[in-house]
Chains A and B, each alone.
Chain A
């Protein structure tokens, strides 16, 4: 498969534990943020999004936290499973049109 995460920061998590993936964004004017999951050799898949007027949003087993003061975004995955092993990207909407700026990504490895 495609190895897109050779030199990425890696988070090793034991199966069943919670994962926290962090992202620092660059533009204080960004008003929308997305987390994507990318499995080896595949295109990114949408996980969850959050608008800048919120500081927390929950989905199924995932929670996104937004701290605009320090321009920090995090993704929490509850009860991490082997299928959660992937590269996770944060993206911010940087203009009114909708252009997304992607972070470098974090490789999550789930161990049994």
Chain B
């Protein structure tokens, strides 16, 4: 089955700790994205990557970091500098940077205690 996987589905962390969210895709997509979703709001872009070893900041990158060492993987680290990290995080991928349709993973709900 081709698709995007995110793990874990639920994640709890103490305030001040960094945490890394996993995103893997086997769709052979070049582009990958991370979004944050809060109640009552649409998706906001954190980071995106058009190709391996390259990534750009989205609209709300402060307090987050990413890497793209492999085409299949785009992990997101939520650092202690992120002031309000509790949210639903969604990873997506698309065929290439200019191809608009994005395919989403199931999401990770992060709760910082």
Query: A: which residues have CB within 8 A of B?
Result: 2-8, 32, 34, 36, 41-46, 49, 89, 93, 96-100, 102-105
B90 touches A44 (CB 8 A): yes
The count of A-to-B residue pairs whose CB atoms sit within 8 angstroms is 68
Is A49 within 8 A of B90, CB to CB?
A: no
B63 close to A (CB within 8 Å):
no
Residue in A closest to B103 when the chains form the complex, CB atoms: A46
- For the residues of A in contact with B, the DSSP-based class is loop
| CB within 8 Å for A6 and B40 given contacts A32-B100, A98-B98, A100-B102 | yes
A-B pairs with beta carbons under 8 Å apart, 28 shown: A8-B40, A32-B100, A34-B100, A41-B107, A42-B106, A43-B4, A43-B6, A43-B90, A43-B105, A44-B90, A44-B104, A46-B101, A49-B100, A49-B101, A93-B100, A97-B97, A97-B98, A98-B97, A98-B98, A98-B99, A99-B45, A99-B48, A99-B58, A100-B45, A102-B35, A102-B44, A103-B42, A104-B42
Contact of A6 among B39, B58, B102, B107 (CB under 8 A): B39
Cα distance, A88 to B83, chains bound together (Å): 28
Q: What's the interface size class on B, roughly? A: 20 to 34
A64 to B: closest C-beta gap in Å: 14
